[in-house]
Amino acid sequence: MTTQQQINYYVFDRIEKDDLGCYWGHKGESFCEVFPLSTEDTEDDLIVSGYAKCDAPGTATFLVEESSWKTLQDA
């Protein structure tokens, strides 16, 4: 029997789309790229790949790399 992990969920101050179609999550003065959530990947797949779910007030759910979120917290 395997134990299912729960995916982490982070909240940004805001998420904005730039002119090239990339999304950026802002936390204070720092930011990192976030990605639209696809229904193709399971939460287990995302956890193994190093992703967490995220959003900001008034936005849909996105994905952020755990390492990028950690970098924001260390800034």
pLDDT digits (tens, 9 = 90+) for 7-63: 999 999 999 999 999 999 999 999 999 999 988 888 999 999 999 999 999 999 999
Q: What is the dihedral of CA 27, 29, 32, 69, to 10 degrees?
A: -50
CA distance 6 to 61: 16
State how beta strands 51-55 and 9-11 pair. Answer: parallel
CA distance 71 to 35: 17
Phi-psi domain of 12 (left: phi exceeds 0; alpha: psi -120 through 50; beta: other): beta
pTM, two decimal places: 0.88
Question: How confident is the model at residue 3, as a pLDDT?
Answer: 59
